[in-house]
Chains A and B, each alone.
Chain A
């Protein structure tokens, strides 16, 4: 038990959750066919906002984290109005540039502590630990130590937030707005002549993506104690994009699966660390060749769902005659 619940593993689980949220953030903007590489920038804004609010102003974490999301969203409003008018690659380049601007600004501002970054950010698990000891659980519960318990509580909170976001994304894809998103993604002109306000919906998608990215960034800051400008460089932007590329971007499960794999893969490949980058690259090349739409697409989900339903139905049918035979 102790070896399974060591802080290192628990932290990886937390990173999986954060990256899954980033996967949802890129899914939301991609849902309208907009390729935005600015999510790392929005993540950075969320992280710095939340970290500074807790460090310098003393705002409690549970308020600072949503504030990070809102800050990212506000910035998205500023850059979104001009950039969402751009198509395809131009948008990608503009948002990539935006991410770099955010990084350089964070690198040069005094309040963000430049290249050194911010350290000593109040951590969620430490806070939870304090709360626990106030409740008299400072020595842990049962076989769980206080540290393990607080880490698990943080993971549960993250999992709940992730579940809410997944639920929201699933509902969205079935909603009126989701239909508009899908139409814009499929054929923007067709969407326009159907009477859809494409500019508005593209902006909304951009905002939602920025908000979720900001939220994830803020949460990341309160997990790692430390953030620096290099955490949100273009490598992070590409990593987030890879979640969607590997997992598939047509269904929300795609980027989720992608983020799971790409977060766990480096850990699994630790024994062959020297070849890690090569294996990484090879996987992507193989993906692009054999399944460019990503691991999961609508058809895959339907297939799995049908299979699952069929099995459930078969079990139903099997269980049906039994009570009758027994009588």
Chain B
């Protein structure tokens, strides 16, 4: 569905991505894991068009989308839930969701808002409350709801578990699986490697701007290198 070939990108003089290849098959959950500064968020931002790649190519459903502006990427069917959630604090929960449907003008927007409320009942309770007054977990739900309002074919999730309580994290991951079960392809960037590998079908491991390892998530969980680097050593496993 989405294919990245030899993509390099950076900020000014700093190269954050040194030519990565990535493939996301339709209907799957692909996870991108790695330590801080590995280039996971940069990869997301480059797919989304927030950063222009220096070289390489991104194709989505056979179309070249390299370097397109973010709003055009959204209209292709890709949505990003940014790191840190980027909730519009001064708008209500309902308005935040409506912003997610900005490019749509069909009559199903209300239906979709209702679906989101069904998935996250807490958002319906708080729908007239300002986005900024929600807790971290609720904001994450709202950010995901907002991204889903664009009816994406591919959903990019950047660190959805960041700064959340373990119980909430479990909820969020459950929802990610549900969303995927309904046919949305997911690219998941995570530092919470154990959880990410549990829900993902396939995973890529990044280190300092390169992909150093890839494989089926189920295999990677047992990979001694992964265990050492991210899961607290093989003894623990």
A interface residues, Cβ below 8 angstroms from B: 176, 179-180, 182-183, 186-187, 189-199, 298
B105 CB to closest chain A CB, in angstroms?
A: 9
Known A179-B95, A194-B146, A194-B150: A189·B102 in contact at CB below 8 Å:
no
**Contacts A179-B95, A179-B99; A195 near B74 (Cβ below 8 A):** yes
Using a CB–CB distance below 8 Å, which chain B residues touch chain A? 48, 50, 69-71, 74-75, 79-82, 86-91, 95, 98-100, 102-103, 146-147, 150
Contacts of A186 in B (CB 8 A): 88-91
Residue contact A193 to B82, C-beta cutoff 8 Å = yes
Cβ-defined contact, B71 with A187, below 8 A: no
- Give the docked Cα–Cα distance between A272 and B57 (Å): 69
What are the residues of chain B within 8 A of A197 when measuring CB–CB?
Answer: 69, 71
**B102 is contacted by which of A187, A195, A298 (Cβ under 8 Å)?**
A195
- Of the candidates B87, B91, B102, B146, which one forms a contact with A196 in the assembled complex, judged by CB atoms under 8 Å apart? B102
Q: Which residue of A lies closest to B95 (CB)?
A: A179
Q: Is the interface of A mostly helix, strand, loop or mixed?
A: helix
Given A179-B95, A182-B91, A187-B88: A194 in contact with B50 (beta carbons within 8 A): no
Return A25 CB to nearest CB of chain B, in Å.
Answer: 23
Instruction: Point out the residues of chain B lying under 8 angstroms from A176, CB to CB.
Output: 102
Chain A residue contacts of B74, Cβ below 8 A: 193-195
Contact (Cβ within 8 A) A194 B102? yes
Known interface pairs A180-B102, A186-B91; A196-B71 also in contact (CB < 8 Å)? yes
**Given contact pairs A179-B99, A196-B102, A190 touches B86 in the complex (Cβ within 8 A):** yes
Looking at the assembled complex, report how far the CB atom of B84 sits from the nearest CB atom of chain A, in whole angstroms. 9
Chain B, residue nearest A298 (CB)? B90
A197 to B88, CA, bound (A): 17
Q: Are B100 and A194 in contact (CB under 8 A)?
A: yes
Q: Looking at the complex, which one of B71, B81, B86, B88 makes contact with A195 (CB distance below 8 Å)?
A: B71
Pick from A179, A180, A192, A298: contact of B50, CB below 8 A.
A192
Is the beta-carbon distance between A192 and B70 smaller than 8 angstroms?
A: yes
